[in-house]
Amino acid sequence: MERSRMWSPLLIATLIAIGCGGGKPQEASATPDAPEGRPVQVAEAPAGAQPAVGGSSAVIQGTVTLDGQAPKPATLKMSADPVCQQAHSSPVYAEDVVASAQGQLKNVFVYVKDGVSGTYPAPATPVMLDQNGCVYKPHVFGIQVNQPLEVANSDPTAHNVNAKPTANTPFNTAQPSNKAPKVKKAFAKPEVMVKFKCNIHPWMSAYAGVVAHPFFGVSGDDGSFTISGLPAGTYTVEAWHEKYGTQTQSVTVGDGESESVNFTFKAQ
Amino acid sequence: MTHLNSVFFFHQARHVDAHGPLRYNALYTFMICRCQCIRWFPPAQIQMSLWAAALFAGLLTWGVAPAWAERPSPDAAAGRAAYDQYCARCHGASGKGDGVDAKRFYPRPRDLTMGVYKIRSTASGTPPTDQDLFDIITKGLPGSNMPDWQQLDEPTRWALVDYLKSLSPAFEQTQPVPIELPQDPGLRRVDLKKGKALYEQLACAACHGAAGRANGPSAAGLVDDWNMPIRPADLSQGWSYRGGNEAKAILTRLLAGIDGAGMPSYIDTITAMEHTTLEDAWHLAYYIASLQEPAHWNMIARARWISGALPSTPDDPAWTSVESTDVRVRNVVTAVGEWANPPTVRAIRFQVVANHEAMAIRLTWDDPTQDPQADAEASSPAPDAVALVLKPAGSQGDVVTLQAWPYAEAPKLDVSYWASDLERPREMVANDFETFVARPMADRNDVGALSSAAKYEDGRWTVVVQRPLAPVEPDGAAAIDPGAFTAVAFAIWDGGNPTARAVSSWVDLVLHQATHAAE
Ligand SMILES: [Cu+2]
């Protein structure tokens, strides 16, 4: 009951946004099914027209590198909660800096900061965040404005999902066990980044990049990221790292082209 | 810390803590009166009449003030002036929670510029309503050092509400989302068994403990939103619930969460559960309320005077008919005035049975960990311990805590020290506070005159110490006179929280009421 009251303005806003394009209501279910990275410019689409996707085929990809010796990762001490301790047979390390021997830097959130025009409705597909072995999985992720977020607890112990945004409304929701329902939330405004923490297990943290469009990615084990489905244009791309801060680069990419943007963070 | 300061804080803090709704300035007067006139009136009479008056005043003021509160038009100048005069001392000139007295306190005064408020009736992450803020100012936060401000007239309190809101952008950025409570089933239709089941299902015990004594397995590792260690509430201590201890207040905390403190909101959790409705949360709220134990903050503690043998074990049925007195304990502030750790022991309850030869005192206090642990893998080598400090001459109006001991010409203190690793308690004479606060206690003597029995169960120590009325140490304090006031105070150590040691203020104890009244 409470929830529906809280959500109703959001629902109305979504309906209005859909209404702007003149599309029929059922398109609301059609548009969010668009795969991530495929822009759906509802606002600019003429009445009754199919969402414009043609021509949005530019790609920005690259690799994030750490210049210098990565700090030795801290071993997470989970002895405070035997359930967490027993979930692991080998040491678990903090994920604030994860770099390969070659310096490929993982968990960097890369997104188009400026240059994107048009409206990109949130996909209906939720972004999943799991608490597993008393660690957030994934540690860094991207999510679109108003896209559903579902936080699961896979541990037979209590967590509290405590999100600390500043532009968005914070929340701290209990998730008493792996039998507890998922915590379902969404962020109404862009914000890079939103931190998640658990007051019961102080070592737990995760970061979400909330962006108004689908043009973002997170660097993987090999430090690489890919942002695809962009319209041709000139963009400012920002890379965020939990410890090393942010960097931006400008890039111009044409239809069907793939431009490479590499970032290098200096180890402190 | 100066003597004067400690007197001031003793008055302010103790009475606010123990009796949230009471006006501390009124109690200040009350205390002074008590200290001066106690010599000329039988204690029972004073106690009865003053307590009745105080209780009545408390009932009158608690909870009803806002009902007719008409909100005046905003007065920025008045708000600022009142803030500077009454709030800045703790919350700081700019509201950052860094006032001159801030470091003395646990919990710390709130940083008001962040706009994060614990006691709200609104959805987690949204600011409190104006009424929430007004209520906090009006009622204070029991169990903390935030007093109630009923001494300020209502327009001033409303002006403060507006001023507080101006200190943080949170109020402009986010609107409060008030939580609508489901219909209260009332005491008659409440099912405490359902409440208990929810307490388990929602893992309340993980932090608050199975019996609510703040001893859950996760209690020691909790942090607040700024990664500072924080302890869960001891739910058996109803007087320490910051936002009030009635079922409605408890339900509000459950659904809204306590922002900043780690206590999450359960509204979404319960709403999404199968076979459970939000209405069922009332059962839990009433169940939590049922965990509270009444506290008796007696100014004068009376022993039961008997002619036979004294009770010697914690579970002796004789204790059930003995008056109990609760005393707040406060953590000792280190030299620089910083808290080392959040306190784990917040109060102690005692009962006394005496005869012509000796006295037996039963001490009960909540301590989340038994130290040293019975098993070999003790996480902490330090024992849990308590010192029963006796001052045979009575408190004589001495209202300072043990921390400020001694003052000029202070008498010697008679200390009976019990520790979980000792076979029996030890007796010592202390000239000053540091003598018995410092570990190890080099000059404690195992004189064999004292005996004890103890048990630890569900996060609670119950210890019985028996000691003779005659001085135990040859050069010790005077013998205890059953008909006169004997001042008692306590120092408590939690081995699992070794930097936190707590001391109480003095309470006057009368062993033999008849002897005393006949004087
Ligand atoms: Cu957790």
**B25-37 mean pLDDT:** 32
Give the tens place of pLDDT for each residue, B126-175: 999 999 999 999 999 998 889 999 999 999 999 999 999 999 999 999 99
Q: Contact A162/B264, CB-based, under 8 Å?
A: yes
Out of A65-69, A103-107, B71-75, B333-337, which region has the weakest mean confidence (pLDDT)? B333-337
Of the listed ranges A171-185, B22-36, B116-130, B233-247, the one predicted with least confidence: B22-36
Same domain, B158 and B196: no
**A112 membership: H or E segment, kind and range:** strand A109-114
Which residue of B171, B179, B269 to mutate against A (max A Cβ within 10 Å)?
B269
- How much is the pLDDT for B373? 64
Residues B346 and B277 in one domain: no
Domain membership of residue B10 as a residue range: 5-53
- The alpha-carbon gap from B344 to the nearest alpha carbon of chain A, in Å, equals 17
B68 within domain boundaries: no
Q: Percent of chain B, pLDDT > 90?
A: 51
Phi and psi at B197, nearest 5°, equal: -60, -40
Minimal-distance CA residue of chain A relative to B223: A199
Reply yes or no on whether the pLDDT at B237 is more than 70.
yes
**A170 in contact with B, Cβ within 8 Å:** yes
Say which amino acid occupies A23: G
Q: What is the total count of domains within chain B? A: 4
Query: Closest by alpha carbon to A174, among B255, B265, B250?
Result: B265
Distance of CA B223 from the midpoint of ligand 1 (Å): 11
Name which of A174, A182, A202 is nearest B265 (Cβ-Cβ). Answer: A174
In a domain, B154, yes or no: yes
CA distances from A238 to A228, A262, B459 (A): 15, 11, 52
Reported as type and span, the H/E element at residue B54 is helix B43-61
Binned at pLDDT 50, 70 and 90, residue B404 comes out as: low
User: Which span out of A109-118, B63-72, B431-440 was modeled with the highest average pLDDT?
Assistant: A109-118
CB atoms within 10 A of CB B3: 11
Question: Does the pLDDT value for residue B291 go beyond 70?
Answer: yes
Residues B120 and B154 placed together within one structural domain of the fold: yes
Which of B117, B120, B124 is the best residue to mutate to test the A interface, defined by the most A CB atoms within 10 Å of its own CB?
A: B124
The answer to whether residues B255 and B326 belong to one domain is no
Output the six-digit token pair for B486.
Answer: 């004997």
Distance A158 CA to ligand 1 centre (A): 6
The 10s digit of each residue's pLDDT in B100-134 is: 878 777 788 899 999 999 999 999 999 999 999 99
pTM strictly above 0.90: no
Domain annotation covers residue B153: yes
pLDDT in tens, B325-369: 999 988 765 544 455 578 899 999 999 999 999 999 999 999 998
* A contacts of B255 (beta carbons < 8 Å): 2
H/E segment holding residue B270? helix B267-272
Q: What pLDDT does B130 receive?
A: 96
Q: Which of residues 37-96 of A touch B (CB under 8 A)?
A: 80-82
Q: Is B222 on the interface with A (CB under 8 A)?
A: yes
Residue A158 with chain B: CB contacts under 8 Å: 203, 206, 218
Per-residue pLDDT at B414:
78
**Three-state DSSP class for residue B186:** helix
Task: Judge: B125–A81 Cβ closer than 8 Å, yes or no.
Answer: no
List of chain A residues whose C-beta atoms are within 8 Å of the C-beta of residue B266: 173-174
**Identity of the residue numbered B472:** V
Task: Examine residue A123 and state whether it is found in any structural domain, yes or no.
Answer: yes
**Rounded mean pLDDT of chain A?**
83
What's the pLDDT band for B476 if we cut at 50, 70, 90? low
Q: How far is A181 from chain B (nearest CA, A)?
A: 6
Any domain includes B219: yes
Average predicted confidence (pLDDT) for chain B: 80
Our count of domains for chain A comes to: 1
Say if residue B240 is in the same domain as residue B356: no
The CATH number of the domain holding residue A109 is 2.60.40.420
* Residue-level pLDDT at B338: 52
For residue A162, tell me if it sits in a domain: yes
Q: Are residues B319 and B388 in the same domain?
A: yes
The pLDDT assigned to B371 comes to 86
Packing angle of the helix pair B3-18, B24-37 (nearest 10 deg): 110
